[in-house]
């Protein structure tokens, strides 16, 4: 999977590396700011009220 | 090995490798989620706390402040209306209390149970707060001792509550800890000779209860039938958080009783107040 993505990134090594890092940052940001805030209240780990 | 055989083997390699990569990725996502709940939510909550703190400060400074009593009748859901200080956790422990105990409100800071008493009123001021992540205002509630102060600041006053005697201290409260001048006014509301110690017999400094004990924030804690008229109710504060620390099977409850009320004009600042109430600054 990761090999396939790497082969399909365009350009020489430097550009590929940059593109890979940008992709990675984007995915982490998507998780942190969209997916996790949506998911977290649905999980029962942090109920504090009675 | 024939050609067909080799192709089948390499297809299998691809499938197994991809499966492995997906599993590793899933593991990393789970770890990121842990980082999110423990740290990222702290950052987000701190920013939201700053916002409500600014708003609260501005509303207190505005001319509408001429009629504070009216403003405090029923705070709006999600809005900050008071500050809570726990001096035992350091001078900088300070949070704005917002109205409501739903997850959007608790993501901002400690939340006031709607319908429970407001600071200073007879009855029970119920406040819930996170123990893990989201600023974790109530992370260290287990370290609160009897007689430690819980200060609530409203537009006009500081209300000083102190944690009530723990269950193992109730019997000798008058003889031991109440000798300390700071604790002299902290009541043990247990009445000897009455069945179960009277209406407040179950109200001690700290209790661990099951999550269905909504009556922990009842006007008379653990007495949902409400045995006392409002005028006879003690003024209490009740802090609730999850228990055990990373779990949700129980709740930790802290009960404090009102011992003092100092107008802000008289105290000046919170720092000055700490000196007035005998807390080490």
Overall average pLDDT of the B179-204 stretch = 87
* Statement: residue B58 has pLDDT above 80: yes
Chain A positions contacting chain B at CB under 8 Å are: 1-2, 28, 31-32, 36, 39-41, 44-50
Contacts of B236 (CB under 8 A, 6+ apart): B117, B123, B124, B125, B161, B203, B221, B255, B256, B257, B258
Asked if residue B67 has pLDDT above 60, the reply is: no
What is the predicted pLDDT for the residue at B32?
96
Please state the ipTM of this predicted complex.
0.90
Residue of B212, B240, B246 lying closest to A48 (CB–CB): B240
Residue B72 has pLDDT above 60, yes or no: no
Q: How far is A7 from chain B (nearest CA, A)?
A: 15
Does residue B10 fall inside a structural domain?
Answer: no
- Which chain B residues are Cβ-neighbours of A1 within 8 angstroms? 17-18, 21-22
pLDDT score for A46: 73
User: What pLDDT is attached to residue B52?
Assistant: 94
Asked whether residue B21 is assigned to any structural domain, the reply reads: no
Number of folded domains that form chain B: 1
pLDDT, one tens digit per residue, over B23-41 is 999 999 999 999 998 899 9
Please tell me the predicted confidence (pLDDT) of residue B24.
96
- Spatial neighbors of A30 by CB under 8 A, at least 6 apart, are none
B65-93 mean pLDDT: 81
Predicted local distance difference test score (pLDDT) of residue A28: 95
> Does a structural domain hold residue B125?
yes
> How confident is the model over A1-50, as pLDDT tens digits?
888 999 999 889 999 999 999 999 999 999 999 999 999 888 877 778 88
Answer whether A46 sits within 8 Å of B21, measured CB to CB: no
Q: Which residues form the domain of B73?
A: 38-276
Q: What is the DSSP letter of B194?
A: S
* Res B66 pLDDT > 80: no
Taking an 8 Å cut-off on Cβ atoms, the answer to whether A41 and B103 are in contact is yes
Mean pLDDT of chain B: 90
Peptide bond into B244 cis (omega under 30): yes
Contact state of B33 with A31 under an 8 Å Cβ cutoff: yes
Q: Indicate which CATH number applies to the domain containing B60.
A: 2.40.260.10
**B272 vs chain A: nearest CA distance in angstroms?**
32
In Å, how far is B181's CA from the nearest CA of chain A? 33
Cβ-based neighbours of A12, under 8 Å, separated by 6 or more = none
**Do the domain assignments include residue B16?**
no
Nearest CA in chain B to A2: B21
CA dist., res. A39 & res. B101, Å (int):
19
Check whether B179 has a pLDDT greater than 60: yes
Check pLDDT > 60 for residue B63: yes
Residues near A9 by beta carbon (within 8 Å), at least 6 away in sequence: A15, A16, A19, A20
pLDDT computed for residue B281 by the predictor: 64
Examine residue B59 and state whether it is found in any structural domain, yes or no: yes
* Cα first-last separation, chain A: 46
**Is a pLDDT exceeding 70 seen at residue B75?**
yes
Look at residue B15 and tell me if it is in a domain: no
Question: Quick one: pLDDT band at residue B124, thresholds 50, 70, 90?
Answer: very high
Q: What residue spans define the domains of chain A?
A: 2-40
Put simply, whether B174 touches A (Cβ < 8 Å) is: no
């Amino acid at each position: 999977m990761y090999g396939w993505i790497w082969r399909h990134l365009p350009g020489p090594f430097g550009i590929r590396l940059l593109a890979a890092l940008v992709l990675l940052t984007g995915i982490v940001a998507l998780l942190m700011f969209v997916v996790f805030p949506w998911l977290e209240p649905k999980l029962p780990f942090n109920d504090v009220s009675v | 090995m024939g050609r067909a055989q080799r192709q089948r083997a390499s297809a299998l390699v691809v499938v197994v490798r991809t499966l492995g990569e997906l599993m590793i990725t899933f593991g990393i996502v789970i770890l990121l989620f842990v980082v999110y709940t423990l740290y990222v939510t702290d950052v987000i909550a701190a920013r939201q706390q700053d916002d409500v703190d600014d708003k609260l400060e501005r509303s207190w400074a505005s001319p509408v402040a001429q009629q504070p009593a009216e403003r405090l009748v029923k705070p709006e859901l999600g809005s900050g209306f008071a500050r809570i200080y726990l001096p035992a956790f350091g001078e900088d422990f300070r949070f704005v209390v917002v109205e409501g105990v739903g997850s959007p409100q608790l993501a901002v800071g400690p939340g006031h149970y709607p319908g429970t008493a407001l600071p200073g009123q007879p009855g029970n001021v119920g406040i819930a707060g996170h123990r893990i992540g989201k600023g974790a205002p109530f992370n260290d509630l287990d370290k609160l001792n009897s007689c430690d102060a819980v200060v609530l600041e409203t537009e006009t006053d500081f209300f000083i509550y102190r944690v009530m005697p723990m269950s193992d201290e109730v019997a000798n409260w008058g003889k031991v800890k109440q000798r300390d001048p700071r604790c002299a006014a902290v009541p043990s509301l247990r009445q000897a000779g009455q069945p179960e110690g009277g209406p407040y017999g179950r109200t001690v400094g700290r209790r661990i209860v099951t999550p269905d004990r909504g009556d922990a924030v009842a006007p008379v804690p653990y007495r949902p039938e409400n045995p006392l008229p409002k005028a006879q109710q003690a003024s209490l504060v009740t802090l609730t958080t999850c228990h055990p620390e990373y779990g949700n099977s129980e709740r930790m409850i802290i009960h404090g009783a009102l011992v003092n009320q100092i107008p802000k004009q008289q105290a000046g600042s919170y720092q000055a107040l700490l000196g007035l109430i005998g807390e080490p600054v």
